[in-house]
Structure 1
Amino acid sequence: MPVPLFDAGATGDSIYVNGKWRAAAAGATFVVTNPATGEPLATVADGGRDDAREAIDAAAAAFPQWSGRTAYERAECLHKAHQLMLERADELAQLMTLEQGKPLRAARNEVRYAADFLSWYAEEAKRIYGSTIPSARSDQRFLVLRQPVGVVAAVTPWNYPVSMITRKVAPALAAGCTIVVKPAEQTPLCAMAVFRILEDAGVPAGVVNLVTSADPATVGEELLNSAEVRKITFTGSTEVGKLIARSAASTVKRVSLELGGHAPFIVFGDADPVHAAKGAALVKFLNTGQACISPNRIFVHRSIANEFLAALVDRVGRLRAGNGLDDGVGIGPLIDESAMAKMRRQVADAVGRGATVLAGGERLTGEGYDGGYFFPATVLSEVTPQMEIYREETFGPIAAVLVFDDEDEVVAMANDTVYGLASYLYTRSMAVAMRVSEALRFGIVGVNDINPTSAAAPFGGVKESGLGREGAAEGLAEYLDTKLVGISI
């Protein structure tokens, strides 16, 4: 079915600055490919320093007028964008499947999730409240104002190429900020489609700007070094996040980082092993395991380990890998050859150190697979802390299962990581749920719940999984400065 959200013959004009679509200043381009087939989808502008600088200038020039608009006017643009995104949901989902690879059903779910941020922050724009503080002096009054930080730079990932844009753009616009977005080089077409929606929703020129580029370092350096950019928000790897945090210090920018994860999934002995295995399979193989909240280490109590593994392997056996546009596909392709190499390396290391492959484990080949990056849903048992997969984020469809005997032991093992984003536990005991939720050093805990996320809920991690929160009122606060006004009367 055709995807009319982009014109394959005109996608060289993929940079959006000051309300106009154009090519890169240097005329450079790069090719976007379909990870399921390896076929080219489009050629897009390969932006550089000059393009980033122009986008920053446009955002800075638009900031006074946009921040001076009423909250209701800003909310109207976001409401309109929400409506348009829902109207174009099917087209957006098809584009996402072509460019990123996830099954069409999952792509549709992401579009709805992305639209939720536009709707939520349209309402939150009207709830940016200040306060008054009593003074010790009778002739003095204190006012506390919440004001937009200014120009924002956003760097977004390929694994959720639509929702990770709206999760940043929506609160920025609601707060009164202007923004420059550098999308992942693997998924610029999805970013273009989102920006066409913002354009059609009436967001004024210069308020939102898009710089597509195959060289994130060059554009990123310009965004980080600019004194006009007062905040940077990044979703991606911990390694890159650390570099951004260091660079942002040179101009003392506000920083929000949503980084890697190494989620534990704990199944206690009182849990229903079949129900827990269903939950583990759903969240582990979500987006082919290419999600920062995907469980990396699955800890199962020894008393129910055999039942859990049998149920998990059964569910995995029913997951069909293939092109996300095909009916019945539950596992799409990995994003690229580098991701494939990581899967093969982690499995080889685990097996070499004593793990057993209960399902999957080898790259899929043959008709329908050879052109893409397909790795099947894989289950490893007898995993130990000595294996790479126990320490390293997988970001792929490998379920690593370990056995434990008592609560203190499993909490210590779960916390034995530098990461701290999402975590999960299954139990029938409220006491266990409360104790373990409080003891887990992670920003998110799902208790018998594999989807503890929402536009209305704060999302983010601790330790090396990030700084700040996205979503909810906390997400809006990340784009606001606090100003004190003292008045002598």
Structure 2
Amino acid sequence: MDKYKDLDHQFINGRWKEGTGKKQIEVVNPYTQEQVTTFKSAGTEDIDEAYRAAYEAQKEWAAVNAFERARIIEEASLIMERRRDELVQLLIEEAGSTFIKANVEVDFCIAITKHSASFPFENESQVPPSIVPGKRNEVLRKPLGVVGVIGPFNFPMYLAMRSVSPALATGNGVVLKPDSQTAITGGTLLGKIFEEAGAPKGILNVVVPDITEIGDAFVEHPIPRMISFTGSTGVGKHIGEIAGRTVKKAVLELGGNNPFVVLEDADIEKAVEGAAFGKYMHSGQICMAVNRIIVHQDIYEEFTNQFLELSKKIKAGDPKDPTTLIGPLINQKAVQRILGEVEQAKSEGAEVLLEGSVDGNVMTPFVLKGTNDMATAKHEMFGPVVTIIPAKDEADALRIANDTQYGLSGSVHSSNYEKAFSFAQRMETGMVHINDQSVNDEPLVAFGGEKNSGLGRFGGHWSLDEFTTFQWISVQEERRRYPFEK
């Protein structure tokens, strides 16, 4: 099987072309610092052309037989299965994904696409009874029209695919804008997959602009009826403001400050293993990653000693090595930001239990003891840095867990299921995992956050609802009597 080509071009209306922008976008391997490729940036003309192509193609796509639409979406999942090795390699090279994480990401992409292939058969109508004599009501589920998707750099392929697949499957046209650091795996690669699967031209378009050149043009464009964004809370709020002003739907999956709570009756060994995986997977560059570990004071010392020992053994370095859990951070700016947060926490009184090191963009674990008031606990680290916080009792642990502007994911460990479930229900997060870690995602389950962690839900029928709208059509089958005389 030939490898994909033209991955350094814009994909608009079924054509692979250079952008009309003025910037050169350089994509760099985060581990080796070698250039992967360069793009000629997309300009506002390209964005307009992409949205117009999606608008025109969507009219026909929505009318395509459900079995044919489902076949194309299913074929995209089969292509990913056949091309797994190629996709994994691209994720390692461009996103700095470890071999472990890249395979997990491809699995997620296949799963969400397979599930989305069922959506063409779920555009059902309902016939609610009417209070008006002789009236027949019908409520139709319909596609929104055109969806703009903005993806991040950390899980670039999956966090784009979880919007692209259901949006296409429900009959929408799509314009995808990946993070420029992962323009291939988060963007043009998806264009290639659906092109190979037989998607009609114009139904999926991929543009790779320089944000300093286009500003808010991607979100402000009048054609898209929805913007699906995954990224930082600050940018998400800005997109939400634009969506409100231009009367667009916005689905926003934003930042997290995820608590990992260990109650006094927890299995400490299992909790330590879960905390380490949930913190260090993909170098902590996951919105669901453990950011704070909150431990009952009676078991604090035992838990912390075991966690430190395991943290020292976690392998960091070359992402191609199948045994590496911590690969590179996305760039040197991220490294310096995190080091700055650690220094700030130190100045605020945090105790460094394990001092990490830096080699290029690879950072080994930093473990601190502190409180919610310290920088590393207050802010989302997005790196291999964690703050362990002692709690007096269960009520104190819950207070600490909820004392944040975020509410994406979290976990609680206890040997008492009923107590853990009660605790989980009182956590102000969209997702809680009992006796597991916070990094979980499944195609049939509602995924999303509360508070400043976002709006909307991905997965299962929740995705179906997000990417569709409803139309009420009524038929007055008998002459209606109005309150006036002729």
Alignment TM-score > 0.5, same fold: yes
| Aligned counterpart in structure 1 of residue 235 of structure 2, from 240, 264, 272 | 240
Q: Is the 8 A contact 2:421 2:434 kept in 1?
A: no
In the TM superposition, residue 6 of structure 1 has moved relative to its aligned partner by 4.8
State the Cα deviation string for residues 272-302 of structure 1 (Å, max 9, x = none): 1111010000011111000000111110111
Matches within 5 A, 1:437-476: 437-450=424-437, 451-476=439-464
Q: Is the 8 A contact 1:424 1:448 kept in 2?
A: yes
Residue 417 of structure 1: aligned partner:
404
In the TM superposition, residue 405 of structure 1 has moved relative to its aligned partner by 1.4
In the TM superposition, residue 218 of structure 1 has moved relative to its aligned partner by 4.6
Q: Distance in 1 between matches of 2:220 and 2:273?
A: 47
State the Cα deviation string for residues 124-166 of structure 1 (Å, max 9, x = none): 3312322111112331111111100101100000100111111
Asked whether 1:101 is paired with 2:96, we answer yes
In the TM superposition, residue 225 of structure 1 has moved relative to its aligned partner by 1.9
Which stretch shifts more, 448-457 or 310-319?
Answer: 448-457
Residue 20 of structure 1: aligned partner:
15
Q: Distance in 2 between matches of 1:218 and 1:139?
A: 58
Residue 160 of structure 1: aligned partner:
155
Q: Secondary structure at the match of 1:396?
A: coil
Asked whether 1:356 is paired with 2:344, we answer no
Q: Distance in 1 between matches of 2:445 and 2:212?
A: 31
Residue 199 of structure 2: aligned partner:
203
Q: Distance in 2 between matches of 1:226 and 1:244?
A: 12
Q: Is the 8 A contact 1:6 1:189 kept in 2?
A: no
Counting aligned pairs with the same residue, the percent is 34
In the TM superposition, residue 436 of structure 1 has moved relative to its aligned partner by 1.0
Q: Is the 8 A contact 1:11 1:43 kept in 2?
A: no
Residue 483 of structure 2: aligned partner:
none
Q: Is the 8 A contact 2:372 2:403 kept in 1?
A: no
Asked whether 1:311 is paired with 2:311, we answer no
Q: Is the 8 A contact 2:376 2:386 kept in 1?
A: no
State the Cα deviation string for residues 53-99 of structure 1 (Å, max 9, x = none): 11001001101100111222211111000000011111101110111
Q: Secondary structure at the match of 2:26?
A: strand
Length, aligned pairs only: 475
In the TM superposition, residue 36 of structure 1 has moved relative to its aligned partner by 0.4
Q: Distance in 1 between matches of 2:465 and 2:213?
A: 29
Q: Distance in 2 between matches of 1:288 and 1:4?
A: 32
Which stretch shifts more, 325-334 or 284-293?
Answer: 325-334
Asked whether 1:257 is paired with 2:245, we answer no
Q: Is the 8 A contact 1:344 1:361 kept in 2?
A: no
State the Cα deviation string for residues 398-451 of structure 1 (Å, max 9, x = none): 121010011111111111111110011001112311221111110001111224
Q: Secondary structure at the match of 2:181?
A: coil
Q: Distance in 1 between matches of 2:198 and 2:54?
A: 16
Asked whether 1:385 is paired with 2:380, we answer no
Asked whether 1:57 is paired with 2:52, we answer yes
Normalized against structure 1, the TM-score is what?
0.94
Q: Secondary structure at the match of 2:287?
A: coil
Given residue 388 of structure 1, which amino acid in structure 2 is its aligned partner? A
Residue 397 of structure 1: aligned partner:
384
RMSD: 1.6
Q: Distance in 1 between matches of 2:129 and 2:212?
A: 48
Which stretch shifts more, 120-129 or 351-360?
Answer: 351-360
In the TM superposition, residue 4 of structure 1 has moved relative to its aligned partner by 6.7
In the TM superposition, residue 38 of structure 1 has moved relative to its aligned partner by 1.1
Residue 423 of structure 2: aligned partner:
436
Residue 368 of structure 1: aligned partner:
none
In the TM superposition, residue 28 of structure 1 has moved relative to its aligned partner by 4.1
CA 1:136–1:63: 2 relative to 1, 3 Å: same
Q: Secondary structure at the match of 1:68?
A: coil
CA 1:397–1:5: 2 relative to 1, 3 Å: farther
| Aligned counterpart in structure 2 of residue 375 of structure 1, from 349, 363, 381 | 363
Given residue 198 of structure 2, which amino acid in structure 1 is its aligned partner? G
Q: Is the 8 A contact 2:174 2:205 kept in 1?
A: yes
Q: Distance in 2 between matches of 1:409 and 1:346?
A: 25
Asked whether 1:84 is paired with 2:79, we answer yes
Normalized against structure 2, the TM-score is what?
0.95
Q: Distance in 1 between matches of 2:57 and 2:358?
A: 49
Q: Is the 8 A contact 1:117 1:170 kept in 2?
A: yes
Which stretch shifts more, 384-393 or 411-420?
Answer: 384-393
Q: Is the 8 A contact 2:7 2:188 kept in 1?
A: no
In the TM superposition, residue 327 of structure 1 has moved relative to its aligned partner by 4.4
Residue 174 of structure 1: aligned partner:
169
Given residue 140 of structure 1, which amino acid in structure 2 is its aligned partner? K
State the Cα deviation string for residues 254-282 of structure 1 (Å, max 9, x = none): 11000000101100000011110100000
Q: Distance in 1 between matches of 2:21 and 2:344?
A: 44
In the TM superposition, residue 374 of structure 1 has moved relative to its aligned partner by 1.2
Q: Distance in 2 between matches of 1:360 and 1:100?
A: 26
Q: Distance in 2 between matches of 1:417 and 1:236?
A: 18
Residue 136 of structure 2: aligned partner:
141
Residue 278 of structure 1: aligned partner:
273
Q: Is the 8 A contact 2:139 2:473 kept in 1?
A: yes
Q: Distance in 1 between matches of 2:180 and 2:404?
A: 29
